[in-house]
């Protein structure tokens, strides 16, 4: 028998380098990581595709800005309003 192999039934202890590579590999293959990477790539494409300057009318004032900046500001405003108007879930003790 070889002295390098652990007895049958005992967990194999990996070297720290191999454990780190295993964690990184599982993290990269995780669905949230893949989805986030796809969203990031689509966002970068969206910004590059919508780099034109546009005029925005705020009631009495006209503003010129990049189109993607206007979308980001609108999205942030929607997040803030959604956060302020969300219903809070009540946790009841039984």
One domain for residues 45 and 61: no
Domain total in the chain: 2
CA 56 to chain centre: 29
Specify the pLDDT at position 47.
Answer: 79
Specify whether 10 is located in the same domain as 39: yes
Could you tell me if 16 and 56 lie in one domain?
no
Residue 73 φ/ψ region, left for φ over 0, alpha for ψ in the -120 to 50 degree band, beta for the rest: alpha
Which has the higher per-residue pLDDT, 64 or 10? 64
**With 0-12 CB in 10 A as exposed, 13-18 as middle and 19+ as buried, what is 61?**
exposed
Q: What is the pLDDT of residue 48?
A: 83
Among the residue ranges 14-18, 30-34, 77-81, 88-92, the one predicted with the least confidence is 14-18
29 and 57 share one domain: no
Task: Express each pLDDT in 18-52 by its tens digit.
Answer: 555 567 667 677 788 888 889 888 888 887 887 88
- Give the contacts of 22 (CB within 8 A, at least 6 positions apart): 14
Same domain, 31 and 66: no
- For residue 37, what are the domain limits? 1-49
Instruction: Give pLDDT tens digits for 52-69.
Output: 888 888 788 898 988 888
pLDDT surpassing 80 at residue 1: no
């Amino acid at each position: 028998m070889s002295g390098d192999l652990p007895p049958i039934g005992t967990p194999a202890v990996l070297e720290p380098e191999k454990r780190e590579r295993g964690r990184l590999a599982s993290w990269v293959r995780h669905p949230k990581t893949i989805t986030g990477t796809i969203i990031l790539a689509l966002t970068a494409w969206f910004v590059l595709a919508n780099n034109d300057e546009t005029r925005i009318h705020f009631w009495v004032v006209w503003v010129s800005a990049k189109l993607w900046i206007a979308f980001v500001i609108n999205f942030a405003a929607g997040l803030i309003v959604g956060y302020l108007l969300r219903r809070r879930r009540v946790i009841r003790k039984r």
